[in-house]
Amino acid sequence: MKQITKAVIPAAGFGTRLLPLTKAQPKELLPVVDKPAIQYIVEEMVASGIRTIIIVTTGDKSAIEDHFDINPHLEEYLERNGKIELLAMIRRISQMADFIFIRQKGPYGNGTPVLNARVAIGDEPFAVIWGDDIVEGAKPRLKQLIEVYYRYESPVLTAYPVDDEGTKKYGIIEGEEIEPGVFRVRDIVEKPGPEKTSSRIASIGGYILTPDIFQALEKTPLGKNNELWLVDAIFNLAKRRPVYACMIKGVHYDIGSRIGWLKTNIELGLKNKEISVELRNYLKEIVNKI
């Protein structure tokens, strides 16, 4: 069985839900407490055994590449001024993995960056996680997906429980539970609403995909808004081979919206040892003023 050592981060979107904040700032670099969102994703991948990370961007997102590159001038400054801990932290960012950067080419849509990564993936299974989709848990989400892949050797989606309102926000997985927390996917219904599905299992960011997804993407017609959608290709693939979903254990943070980004900063800030006490006291002051 081929091991999963490569992962793709699609990071070519416009971030329209966060405009004007994302007009010149890639949404993947928006700060979450003390580091950019995409660094959380990279750290999750590395903790799950990923050694090569392919980040698909556009020409106006070179700052993402800069963040994961070395910065000799900054390193020299930190070393000269005795800021050893900061120096080690900065160097660790560029040393976490082997990074490959690809510029997106083709129709707009979240399936295109995956197809663009084909040259770097080759004939191997691989992971995909969006650059702004954070999950915090005792075991990394990606590691949970990889473990299910090794049992079934088929594509694995991230499943996450939602309420009625969640059925309006996410694609909903319909299928059969074949072992505790693992489902064989029958269908993925895009934002059906609570009246049109009995399932309350959402498909959120995070996939283990097999290389036949590339052929599926090539044959998938453009869908909603004339875009190439990864979920459409996965659904087409599921007609020919099993596709599974793993109900992950952890807390999902969606920073793709203003309120989601604010909530994520507050919740993860409360978990940060350096600022948690001061932040908690400040929030109490705010509540007392309301």
Question: Residue 175 class from Cβ within 10 Å (0-12 exposed, 13-18 middle, 19+ buried)?
Answer: buried
Residue spans per domain, the chain: 6-256, 257-290
Q: How confident is the model at residue 171 (pLDDT cuts 50, 70, 90)?
A: confident
Average pLDDT taken over every residue of the chain: 91
From 125-134, 136-145, 210-219, 229-238, the region with the lowest mean pLDDT: 229-238
| Whether 42 contacts 53, CB under 8 Å | yes
Class for the domain spanning 6-256: alpha beta
Q: Tell me which of 254 and 237 has the higher pLDDT.
A: 237
Residue 125, phi-psi category: left (phi > 0), alpha (psi -120 to 50), beta (remainder) = beta
Q: Tell me which of 288 and 157 has the higher pLDDT.
A: 157
pTM above 0.85, yes or no: yes
Token reading at 257:
């919206």
What's the first-to-final CA gap in the chain, in angstroms?
58
User: Distance (Å, rounded) from C-alpha 38 to C-alpha 82?
Assistant: 28
Q: How confident is the model at residue 205 (pLDDT cuts 50, 70, 90)?
A: confident
Looking at the predicted structure, is the pLDDT value of residue 45 above 90? yes
